């Protein structure tokens, strides 16, 4: 669980941040991050976290953007209550937890939770490799801290078993974004964006590559390929 990071995106209430810190402490998650909190009243955060989880609350990491918060993580799990034809397929917490022990062995995994009012947008979910929906009866709205506890609990249980599958180091979000930047530069160089299809190519590129568990060495290979092609173009096509 030491490689699991809980990220709260734009939380509205400091009490929920404190309660999430307590959940992290219960389940052995050492790192809690918040992105653009509406009200970061540390007195209320610490009161809800209680003395036992004060260390998690006091080491709280605050970020101004989501891309910065996930930059050093290699695998991102998003949570959502909204499903449908226009949304990505989702896991249950239990099915998702089953795949994580082999990943967290050498990779930092982020559990991403949206704000109490709006949840995660499709734009927020672009960072996510997998998406989780917590099953409920008729009333689907779950308190933010409850969501953190349910997901962390299932992952905690899953880590109690033997890890048989080894997953090598995956690319971090920062490494993947650098790769996308190189690909966009290559698209520009070969004229794909000149025809007015800039958004189309960018979207397709992220759809094809963004959802895969790209290894760090695979991203390095793609960037090396882009550099080689760009250098060839700049030299006038003489490889």
* Domains defined for the chain, CATH in brackets: 4-158 (3.40.1280.10), 173-234 (no CATH)
HSE, side-chain direction, 13 A CA sphere, residue 48: 18
Contact call for residues 3 and 108 (beta carbons, < 8 A): yes
pTM of the model: 0.76
Q: How far apart (Å, rounded) are the C-alpha atoms in residues 103 and 110? A: 11
Q: Mean pLDDT for each consecutive 10-residue tract of the chain (239 residues)?
A: 94 96 94 96 95 94 96 93 61 90 91 91 88 83 91 90 64 91 86 67 79 86 91 76
Which whole-number Å values give the CA distances from 91 to 98, 129, 142, in the listed order?
A: 11, 11, 16
- What pLDDT does 195 receive? 56
Vertex 114 angle, CA 147 and 173, to 5°: 110
Sheet architecture: strand order including 4-9: 61-63, 31-35, 4-9, 109-113, 75-79, 130-132
Tokens 């998406």: give the residue: 131
96 Rama sector, left if φ>0, alpha if ψ -120 to 50, beta otherwise? alpha
Tokens 């062995």: give the residue: 105
- What pLDDT does 163 receive? 44
φ, ψ for residue 85, nearest 5 deg: -60, -35
Contact call for residues 206 and 125 (beta carbons, < 8 A): no
Contact call for residues 142 and 136 (beta carbons, < 8 A): yes
């Amino acid at each position: 669980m030491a490689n699991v990071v809980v990220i709260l995106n734009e939380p509205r209430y400091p009490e929920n941040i404190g309660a999430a810190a307590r959940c992290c402490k219960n389940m052995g998650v050492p790192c809690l991050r918040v992105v653009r909190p509406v009200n970061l009243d540390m007195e209320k955060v610490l009161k809800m976290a209680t003395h036992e989880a004060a260390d998690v609350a006091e080491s709280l990491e605050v970020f101004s953007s989501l891309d910065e918060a996930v930059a050093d993580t290699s695998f991102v799990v998003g949570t959502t209550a909204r499903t449908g034809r226009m949304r990505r397929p989702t896991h249950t917490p239990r099915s998702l937890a089953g795949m994580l022990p082999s990943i967290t062995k050498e990779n930092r995994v982020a559990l991403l939770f949206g704000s109490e009012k709006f949840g995660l947008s499709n734009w927020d979910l672009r960072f996510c490799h997998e998406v989780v929906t917590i099953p409920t009866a008729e009333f689907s709205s779950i308190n933010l801290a409850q969501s953190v506890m349910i997901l962390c609990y299932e992952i905690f249980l899953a880590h109690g078993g033997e890890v048989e599958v080894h997953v090598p180091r995956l690319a971090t979000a920062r490494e993947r974004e650098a790769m996308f930047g190189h690909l966009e530069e290559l698209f520009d160089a070969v004229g794909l964006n000149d025809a007015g299809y800039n958004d189309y190519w960018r979207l397709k590129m992220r759809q094809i590559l963004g959802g895969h568990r790209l290894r760090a060495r695979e991203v390095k290979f793609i960037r090396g390929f882009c550099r080689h092609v760009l250098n060839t173009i700049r030299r006038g096509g003489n490889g």
